[in-house]
Chains A and B, each alone.
Chain A
């Protein structure tokens, strides 16, 4: 299991590939599911130029670990990878990556969604968007279900 909060941009596809190659599970998993959250250039009716992501140091890491451990207990998973950006984020950069490996697709699909929805609703991150006219805090995430 790997959970990382980082200020630098990352390429989710390279991260998944690199992590999978290091997994000591060749032949054991038949399903990999992933979710990648990317930075849009719009939100509702506003044109967005960039974003700043604030977090609660230590608690955010601890909470993501808690979510991953909950997912391990609920689903039959081989491994989990969670990466999340903080700090300054530019358009089209990846904000969040959740990837899971399991024997079958059911656990992979369901656990990936479980982790992402838990992260979205309870992990302590806050988005501040920059538009052409100033900055504002995002008040709510859009519902995922």
Chain B
């Protein structure tokens, strides 16, 4: 199945891109995807936050085909 991934802020700069489509195995979790991305890009990034379809989720949240997943550093608004 395929999911779209977005990166923001310092993570976007580290990845060198703001979005990308990823092919992942059925029943993959958010953490499975993040590990796949980290291995592929060979990056180390602490305290990453994740949303799926613009909702905060836990790292074991199961992904579905067509999901929009976003990874980003801790937020600093206000």
The residue from A55, A62, A63, A125 contacting B78, defined by CB atoms under 8 A apart: A125
The segment from A21-29, A103-111, A113-121 found at the interface with B is: A113-121
- For the complex, count residues of A whose C-beta is within 8 A of B: 28
What residues on B are CB-neighbors of A55 within 8 Å? 77
- Interface residue tally of chain B, by bracket? 10 to 19
A-side residues, CB < 8 A to B, are 37, 53-56, 58-59, 62-63, 84, 95-96, 116, 119-128, 137-141
The residue from A59, A62, A84, A141 contacting B76, defined by CB atoms under 8 A apart: A141
When A and B form their complex, which 6 residue pairs have the shortest distance between CB atoms, in order from nearest?
A125-B77, A126-B9, A59-B54, A137-B10, A120-B78, A138-B76
What residues on A are CB-neighbors of B6 within 8 Å? 56
B-side residues, CB < 8 A to A, are 6, 8-10, 51, 54, 56, 70, 72-78
A119 touches B70 (CB 8 A): no
A84 touches B77 (CB 8 A): yes
